[in-house]
Structure 1
């Protein structure tokens, strides 16, 4: 997964007006309390970041 796909998936799930705010503000336990933005900046693989988002948002299996 590429970073652009991560951002597109976030936008698809949370909406264009909210996904960037959520990614910058919501801490994810699976990422040791990092936000999406922090995790990406820290070099966490985007697939790992997406899986943490997927779990936090309780998305259906087809979105994994």
Structure 2
């Protein structure tokens, strides 16, 4: 998954302003206690980070984006 696709999906699910807030502030246990931004900047690829978002917010992510 390309980084631009990741951000498009995150913004589609949460809205553009809230998506960036979640990426900056929300720590996900699926990412080893990192935020989305930290995980993307570190050792995780975008597909792994997206799977963590889906796992953390299953009720928010529509099936077509999983």
Q: Do the structures match in fold with TM over 0.5?
A: yes
* Unmatched 5+ stretches in structure 1: none
| Number of residues of Structure 1 aligned to a counterpart in Structure 2 | 64
Per the alignment, residue 13 of structure 1 pairs with 13
In the TM superposition, 1:1-64 aligns within 5 A as: 1-58=1-58, 59-64=61-66
The structure that is strand-richer by fraction is: 2
Q: TM-score when scaled to structure 2?
A: 0.89
RMSD: 1.1
Q: Which has the higher contact order (CA 8 A, sep 6+)?
A: 2
TM-score by length of 1: 0.91
Report the Cα offset of residue 60 of structure 1: 4.2
